[in-house]
Chains A and B, each alone.
Chain A
Amino acid sequence: MPLTLAEVQHIAELARLELAEEELTHFREQLSSVLDYAAQLRAVDTSAIPPTATVLPLRTVLREDAAQPSLPREALLANAAESEAGCFKVPPVLD
């Protein structure tokens, strides 16, 4: 079943993507065809099958809870579009 334009808009909103009108139409077709194909999965009886959590042999990875050296603050801020007083700066979050 093809996605509706409203559904595509909703997904774009969830994904925080600003899309042009023609992108929405185009993605609607393309995503619908991939999802139609993937619908084959629903026909598989998996009632007795556990989901794969990891392909690795299960083990718990722990480390000592101790402070370790980290990268200098300036190095981490160097790639930011804007920073101030040692922090990343963003546009207003609330109106």
Chain B
Amino acid sequence: MELHTLTLTEAAAKLHSGEVTSVALTEAMLQRIEAHNPALNAFLSVTADAALESARQADARIRSGAASPLTGVPIALKDVICVKGLPTTAGSLILKGYRPPYNAAVVEKLSSAGAVILGKTNLDEFAMGSSTENSAYGPTRNPWDMSRVPGGSSGGSAAAVAARLAFGALGTDTGGSVRQPAALCGVVGLKPSYGRVSRYGLIAFGSSLDQIGVFGRTAEDAAVLIETIAGHDPRDGTSMPTPVPNYRAVLSRPLHGLRVGLPKEYFVSGVQADVSAGVNAAVKVLESLGATAREVTLPHTDLALSTYYIIAPAEASANLARFDGVRFGPRAEADSMWDEYRRTRGAGFGPEVKRRIMLGAYALSTGYYDAYYLQAQKVRTLIKADFDAAFNDVDVIACPTSPTTAFKIGEKVDDPLAMYLADVFTLPGSLAGIAGLSVNCGFDGDGLPIGLQLLGPAFTEERLLRVAHQYQQATEWHKRQPPAFSH
């Protein structure tokens, strides 16, 4: 049996029926990582011994009959999530060698569920980027075409799941960093609503936006993962006490009567023709399943990019002030503390992180705060109100996740604005704090995956997962494997 071809849900079923062991699944994934990761660079660190030890414990737990749906399933974590004692770099030189003294809340939850952690995945430095090229440890490649980017910033997690090097993965989404790489790699990526998942132990980037999300090959796989990591945590003051639904229980509910909104601002001329065609065809499938589609308007969409690139860098400049060579990470030698700070940060941060820290420092500085930061927060109110109004008339919004399929490595790396535009359709939902999901809805002329983005009101993850699941039941796209990784 080719174990890697199983979805997370299928692998879990075989584990619980005793047909396979967690050790066998873990060994299969570790072998694939060893064979493929040198070229793909999806993983920054692999923890084979710890993974096999967790697998043995999981097998014992399954035999004892105390298993949860994730027990024994090998998964990967974006390297911005703290795991006690394991290297956690955030894709940055400034955290080289850092080993956190504690586990993130999501790691605690995964551990108590008995999940097997294979290792940590590559990302744009501090989750800032849309291509994973901003990693200090080299770019990750797209499994569908190794000359192209996997998207970002959670590119390592998306590529690992697409290439079948892990059955699922965790990422983070501040402006699209789960949904956009999911689209470019042809997997399902769920960005939960702001407040759904605890960020305790997540290295912070933009604190009013950051949210931990999940990757799977199917919506059902994503449902298992989110169900495990969601929920209230007093250690994250923004985590909401809203009960966690049984996400899998509603997946099979049909779509009759579902109202789908198509925002006219997202179906515009700048979108790659294959992408529009793929998304339109997907909407037809939803209609054939009983949904009704209508046009809606989100009039402030064209302001989202500017708004985001003031607010997120402002928050980043404050959050990244803690990296000063004192408590963690390498330190540059200097005669005074202030020079030590400047040199450590000058040498430790890469170009995009420096750009964003400077943008943020500027937007918050005396004389510019009102014009940039405060104005951006006011426009954010308008963007959120657009969604509130649209969701009076529709249950979900459907649109492209990304205006294009995967672009070439190097194509946009020195043109920040062009790179920022890769997230133009994911930024508005992030600013509004709502739930978002990307599901593969076909391939372009070059065989590259196209992403359908589904957006729903805050705390409607189960609705998005259900729509994506019903779509996948009616289509075959998610069964395609990247040719170079099918064996």
Contacts and interface: CB of A to CB of B under 8 A. Distances in A.
Contact of A44 (B102, B362, B382): B382
B480 interface: no
A82 B335 CA distance: 14
A59 B172 CA distance: 25
Contacts of A19: 346, 354
Interface string A48-79: 01111111100001010000000100011011
Interface stretch (B18-26, B212-220, B300-308): B300-308
A31 interface: yes
A30 B351 CA distance: 11
A90 B336 CA distance: 8
Contacts of B420: 34
Contacts of A5: none
A9 to B, nearest CB: 11
B435 to A, nearest CB: 12
A37 B302 CA distance: 11
A80 B327 contact: yes
Given A11-B358, A27-B358, A71-B102, A49 B378 contact: yes
Interface string A1-45: 000000010011011111100010001001101110110111010
Given A31-B358, A55-B194, A79-B328, A41 B337 contact: no
Question: On chain B, which size bracket covers the interface?
Answer: 35 or more
Nearest to B373: A51
A52 B358 contact: no
Contact of A92 (B309, B337, B347): B337
A91 interface: yes
B345 A18 contact: yes
B77 to A, nearest CB: 19
B486 interface: no
Given A16-B338, A40-B303, A56 B238 contact: yes
A70 to B, nearest CB: 10
Contacts of A30: 355, 416
B362 A51 contact: no
B162 interface: no
Contact of B324 (A12, A16, A54): A16
B326 interface: yes
A53 to B, nearest CB: 8
Interface residues of A, number: 47
A87 B465 CA distance: 49
B375 A56 contact: no
A88 B340 CA distance: 14
Given A17-B354, A42-B375, A92 B238 contact: no
A41 B195 contact: no
B375 A44 contact: yes
B39 interface: no
Given A11-B365, A56-B195, A90-B337, A41 B327 contact: no
A82 B330 CA distance: 10
Given A44-B375, A92-B335, A92-B337, A12 B358 contact: yes
A91 B305 contact: no
B465 to A, nearest CB: 21
- Residue among A14, A15, A23, A37 with max Cβ neighbours from chain B (10 Å): A15
A84 interface: no
Contacts of A85: none
B377 A15 contact: no
B408 interface: no
Contact of B99 (A12, A44, A79): A79
A49 B358 contact: no
B384 A52 contact: yes
A55 B345 contact: no
Contacts of B365: 11, 14
B381 interface: yes
B191 interface: no
Given A34-B355, A78-B101, 12 more contacts: A17-B346, A17-B349, A17-B354, A17-B357, A37-B305, A41-B375, A46-B381, A49-B378, A53-B377, A55-B431, A56-B433, A91-B340
9 contacts: A11-B361, A15-B361, A17-B354, A23-B354, A41-B310, A52-B380, A55-B458, A75-B101, A76-B327
